Amino acid sequence: MSKFAFGHVVHTPAAVSLLAKHAVNMAALLKRHGNGDWGDLGDDDKKENDFAVSSGDQILSSYEVAAGSKVWIVTEGDRSVTTVLLPSDY
């Protein structure tokens, strides 16, 4: 069970392509995001996410799926949308 609502889950074509290329399951990353495993972020960003869960701020996770290739998952502060994207898509 997720620590917060995802709202509508959307993704960019580039993120889907990268995940498929490296056989990474998007649902598994979404589960990590929802469980508060923020991935490859620094301690300060992880603390901000922990606070954002209860305060209603935006939540960002970052997962390295291959050397030098990351996928971000962003849940909006109002919890209406969660987007899976590449940093370059932002």
Query: Are the C-beta atoms of residues 61 and 41 closer than 8 Å to each other?
Result: yes
For the segment 71-87, what is each residue's pLDDT rounded down to a tens digit?
999 999 999 999 999 99
At residue 1, the pLDDT reads 79
* Confidence (pTM): 0.95
Strand partners, 82: 9, 75
User: In angstroms, rounded to a whole number, what is the distance separating the alpha carbons of residues 47 and 43?
Assistant: 6
Q: Which residues of the chain have pLDDT under 50?
A: none
Q: DSSP state, 4?
A: S
At residue 90, the pLDDT reads 85
Give me the residue spans of the domains in the chain. Answer: 8-89
Strand 69-75 to 59-66 pairing? antiparallel
